[in-house]
Chains A and B, each alone.
Chain A
């Protein structure tokens, strides 16, 4: 069995690693944490020029036409470097929503601009309930108006809404017993009258989140993605894709934590010996390695399943997210322990990984939620 990456994917990983090592340093990440925008437009354009933003879009929409496994390679490196950028929100959350549900005209308008970096998009889905299922879309409602729809309500934890040009908004258009029916997706410009965006103070400042309030926001009928009330199947698939993508980021971060910790265990000398020679540290690192490798296997399987769009993709994705949620948090926590006192300081990067791990743990559902989905997939 050969589960290895192709030569091109190895080259892509190396190129992404080298690029991010040079440009996404710890100092840069910390600078972006303080920056209200939370990303560097210059770096964004460089990433666009390298072709990263259009990697997974078909060539007719300005993309490179590559697969999800190729994207996984870049996402791992982004996670390892804690890249602060709207990549996830623009390319994945919004980009995939438009790609999967949008009309031909919408795809031709938006995807090339997302791919060349001239337009930043995001997905406004979650609400104060923080649920990632159809029933969580209740507060924001869209009602038919004269020439389109009027949207009102509050979205919460919307990634990068403060810098987005356009948002894919999931709104309840019909109250029905089956919560998966009655959700519609709209493309809404951020500067539309009636929209207010407030940056949230969150734990992981490498990734900005916002509250977005819609107060009688009017959008035209041409801004509807797909048909009325049938947005959930598209959104559900987008969530599968993005959950698999988040797992890729998480294993990249977890691997980097392991690498940093093992290097420190070899370098740090106490009682005349490197601390990595003590069983307490040795076994911590070994357990971290076990968890990281297992998480990688699960994440790669999910990436393959999403790429191939096989029927077991939802199961593979939930297995991966359940495992990665626990593994990244565990690894980042143990990484702090291996480093001892210095791992607890602001100056050391370990807390940045821990915070990212906590953010990722709950995004798109935590381990418990995904274990429940796994149980459902095996008919329990």
Chain B
């Protein structure tokens, strides 16, 4: 079964917290300077799930990502892990997309790829954490979708998944092509081998623009966005230090307990 995996590049969550920057007026999260963006962590789980299915049952894994030129890095990394092909969706008109217009472009690209039995996505992206794009893709393609799975397996043409619930999980069988979002419980993504890295380095990544995808200009990027961000800011947390007085450590301890009770902390 051929599998399509969607990828997003996000600011490196391991970057030092003091490098986190936003553009309040432009309402954007800025990538930290000198720190390359990385594949969204949950998308790596989706890649790993796809590669395990491929190893078990054959087929081809294609990764598709909408983004700027830097997104080729994510696609190359996916190919270094073992993904067969990568496709970059890039056009000036795709800029400032929200979940709806992103899902639209990805859905058109998946239609263009044509051959697939399963679409795997990460559960959510670590920059905005909205979890909306996969469901949007499923809606636009008219496919069933299951979110947040901890296990995905193929049984013939049926996809069997374990969907995470608050108090356990449920097992679902899905017939025919479907969209499944993979959670971090599903697997531990593999590290690219040297051979994988060198093979990926030699592969070309086709770039599909708006014309190639034949998309409706009114539905892509900011023009097609259904959400409007009204404010973006970094909340401030002010600390205050109060010294507890006392003649002896025991007295200081007692005074600390009294103060904590006064503040209704204990």
Q: Do A and B bind each other?
A: yes
Chain A residues contacting B38 (CB-CB under 8 Å) are 14
Contacting residues of chain A (1-43) with chain B, CB-CB under 8 angstroms: 6-8, 10-12, 14-15, 18-19, 21
**Complex alpha-carbon distance, A7 and B213, angstroms:** 28
A150 at the binding interface (Cβ < 8 Å): no
B182-221 vs A, Cβ < 8 Å mask (1 yes, 0 no):
0000000001111101101100000000000000000000
A236 at the binding interface (Cβ < 8 Å): no
Nearest B residue to A6, CB-CB: B201
A266→B18 contact, CB < 8 A: yes
Nearest A residue to B16, CB-CB: A263
Most chain-A Cβ atoms within 10 A of its Cβ — which of B14, B18, B38, B198?
B198
Q: Among B14, B16, B36, B197, point to the contact of A8 (Cβ < 8 A).
A: B197
B80 at the binding interface (Cβ < 8 Å): yes
For the A-B complex, the count of residue pairs with Cβ-Cβ distances under 8 Å equals: 47
Q: Among A10, A19, A21, A64, point to the contact of B195 (Cβ < 8 A).
A: A64
Contacting residues of chain B (1-42) with chain A, CB-CB under 8 angstroms: 14, 16, 18, 36, 38
A55 at the binding interface (Cβ < 8 Å): yes
B77→A14 contact, CB < 8 A: yes
Chain B residues contacting A55 (CB-CB under 8 Å) are 194
**Is the contact region of chain B dominated by helix, strand, or loop, or is it mixed?**
helix
The answer to whether residues A11 and B201 also contact, given A51-B193, A51-B195, A55-B194 and a CB cut-off of 8 A, is: yes
With both chains docked as a complex, state the minimum distance between the C-beta of A152 and any C-beta of chain B, in angstroms. Answer: 41
A8→B191 contact, CB < 8 A: no
Nearest A residue to B14, CB-CB: A21
Contacts A14-B36, A55-B194 given; 11 further ones with Cβ under 8 A?
Answer: A7-B73, A8-B197, A11-B192, A14-B38, A15-B191, A19-B191, A49-B193, A50-B191, A64-B194, A66-B194, A266-B16
- Selected A-B contacts with CB under 8 Å, 29 pairs: A7-B73, A7-B76, A8-B197, A8-B200, A10-B36, A11-B77, A11-B80, A11-B192, A11-B200, A11-B201, A12-B194, A14-B36, A15-B80, A15-B192, A15-B197, A18-B191, A19-B191, A21-B14, A50-B191, A50-B192, A50-B193, A50-B194, A51-B193, A55-B194, A64-B194, A66-B194, A66-B198, A266-B16, A266-B18
